Amino acid sequence: MTPGTGAALQLLAASVDAKAVAEIGTGCGVSGIHLLHGMRPDGVLTTVDPEPEHQQFARQAFRAAGFASNRARFIPGRALEVLPRLADAGYDLVFCDGDRLESLEYLAESLRLLRTGGMVVFEGVFANGRTVDSGPQPTEVIRIRELLRTVRESEDLLPTLLPVGDGLLCAVKR
């Protein structure tokens, strides 16, 4: 994650006054740290990842960054198995950095999870420039294009693309 992407995540979390954030794809915790910095001091980040060792790294990173253990809830598992168990309209922001092939399903779950005025954010939507290239593309790029089209055409979302890092697709739920 680039410093610009991290700064944008922090700003986006602050802009929705986030108290509850769901993150798809814990990774090593870098995005989570930026989200936590932008969240309210009493906010809780719920982060989902299929790799328990990723979550262990992130737990250590959050601690090293000075966050109390009660600021993050780690749920191991595949996002599409975990997300249905989370509360409807219980989140201010959903950050999606998981399997690109599941992005449309993440969008559907995010819309259920978000409160009105909440925001969904997808990382990596430029796919290193491949989303605008002509010619045959891998399935991952085709799915990102479908996501971009779906978000753009949705009457329930107010979207924008932020040209930081490998692209952030942001959309506010109306």
The whole-number pLDDT of residue 114 equals 98
- Which pTM does this prediction carry? 0.95
Which regions of the chain does DSSP assign to beta strands (E)? 20-24, 44-49, 72-76, 91-96, 114-123, 157-162, 168-173
All domains of the chain, ordered by start, with CATH? 3-173 (3.40.50.150)
Instruction: Give 112-142 pLDDT, tens digit per residue.
Output: 999 999 999 999 999 887 777 777 788 989 9
The whole-number pLDDT of residue 130 equals 74
| HSE (side-chain half, CA atoms, 13 Å) at 49 | 22
CB atoms within 10 A of CB 59: 18
Instruction: Give 58-105 pLDDT, tens digit per residue.
Output: 999 999 999 999 999 999 999 999 999 999 999 999 999 999 999 999
Angle at 39 between CA 150 and CA 165, to 5 degrees: 50
The whole-number pLDDT of residue 20 equals 98
Sequence-distant (6+) residues with CB within 8 A of 26 are: 32, 47, 48, 49, 51, 54, 55, 58, 74
Sequence-distant (6+) residues with CB within 8 A of 67 are: 33, 36
